[in-house]
Amino acid sequence: MLSRFASLPLLLGSALALTAGAQTKPPARSVVDAGFPLASPSAPQLLFISNRSGTDQLYTMSADGSGVRQLTRSAVDVGGAQWLPGGKSILYTTTQDDQTSVYELWPDSARTRLVRTFPGRSPQYSPARDYVLYSVGPWTSSHLVRSDPRGLDPRQMTDNASSVWLGVWSPDGRQIAYTVSSKSGMSVWVMNFDGSRPHQVTHLTPQQGAAQMPAWSPDGQQLAFQANATTPRKKATLWIVDLRTSAAREVLPHDNGFLDETPTWFSDGKRLAFQSNRSGSTEVWAVDTDNSDLQQLTGRR
């Protein structure tokens, strides 16, 4: 299952606040024409978030950027989203006062139903829908909680020694990747689904940037992530770490003051979609993992 969309303090230089309502709110968002892409697990199709209408809403398009269609017209901002296995339906969220409601939407019919409301932010269902993972606490000291699909039997999965955000399930549901912010900086960690064996998987230097926003490859062997640099301040690059060897490599390396962020894998495992402001506004782009065939998918003139 592919899942993501979130807003975190110090996370994205250009990203919109998709899960507002925390006790300590993240910075104000900028206008994002198209961002936070999320590739379907079964078809050449992408979800993305845009506030082009004045509020954050969910859109879909083909993998080449054609056929853009608005999916939600919620009275409040739409936050997180995830494809369910098979790609037939989508879960999306709205958050108010640290209570997050999850809705299921069928794009072909536009039918929508309320699934459940959780006492936290960014709920993510496991691939088998037997667990839900969500964030609890202020942005500066949040932790991950896992419950059953009804929100019962909640269990704290990470300690309070550092801030932890946005747990993402592996394709087989056996592992969880997440972002940790501590005194030593930001990094991506992985733990087993039951909270055992938490370990750091990214080891970038401060010059390379703060690692965050992990995204699982379809085979579960790699994680794509973004690294936001402090010099220059408004620079972010994409990276891939091989979980078998711990080797990390940069995708589209650059020294320019623009942001390549929020990667997502296409189902073939050979291509990434991401948001970038390299054309002047935040749009969705795509590139092969070998750095070839870079394309702007939205906002093309």
Q: Are 284 and 298 in contact (CB under 8 A)?
A: yes
**Residue 301 located in a structural domain:** no
Average pLDDT taken over every residue of the chain? 87
DSSP string, 121-142: EEEEE-TTSS-EEEEES-GGG-
* Residue 2 confidence (pLDDT): 56
What CATH number is associated with residue 10? 2.120.10.30
Question: Is the per-residue pLDDT at 38 higher than 70?
Answer: yes
**Residue 134 located in a structural domain:** yes
Question: Is the per-residue pLDDT at 20 higher than 70?
Answer: no
Tell me the per-residue pLDDT of 225-270, one tens digit each, with 9 for 90 and over: 999 987 766 799 999 999 999 999 999 999 888 899 999 999 999 9
Scan for tokens 């794509």, then name that residue: 224
* Residue 9 confidence (pLDDT): 33
Tell me the per-residue pLDDT of 137-194, one tens digit each, with 9 for 90 and over: 887 889 999 999 999 999 999 988 889 988 999 999 999 999 999 888 899 999 999 9
In order of 35, 109, 191, 203, 204, the CA distances from 185 in angstroms are 25, 45, 19, 10, 10
**Residue 132 located in a structural domain:** yes
Q: Are 250 and 242 in contact (CB under 8 A)?
A: no
The token duo for 137 is 């606490």
- Which residue type, as a one-letter code, is found at position 5? F
Model confidence band, residue 16 (pLDDT cutoffs 50, 70, 90): very low
**Residue 219 located in a structural domain:** yes
Tell me the per-residue pLDDT of 283-297, one tens digit each, with 9 for 90 and over: 999 999 999 999 999
Q: Which of 179, 180, 230 is nearest to 209 (CA)?
A: 230
Residues spanned by the domain of 77: 3-296
Cis peptide before 232 (omega within 30 of 0): yes
Query: Would you say the pTM of this structure is higher than 0.75?
Result: yes
Q: Total domain count for the chain?
A: 1
* Residue 26 confidence (pLDDT): 38
Scan for tokens 């087989």, then name that residue: 172
**Residue 209 located in a structural domain:** yes
Scan for tokens 């296409």, then name that residue: 266
Polymer length of the chain? 301
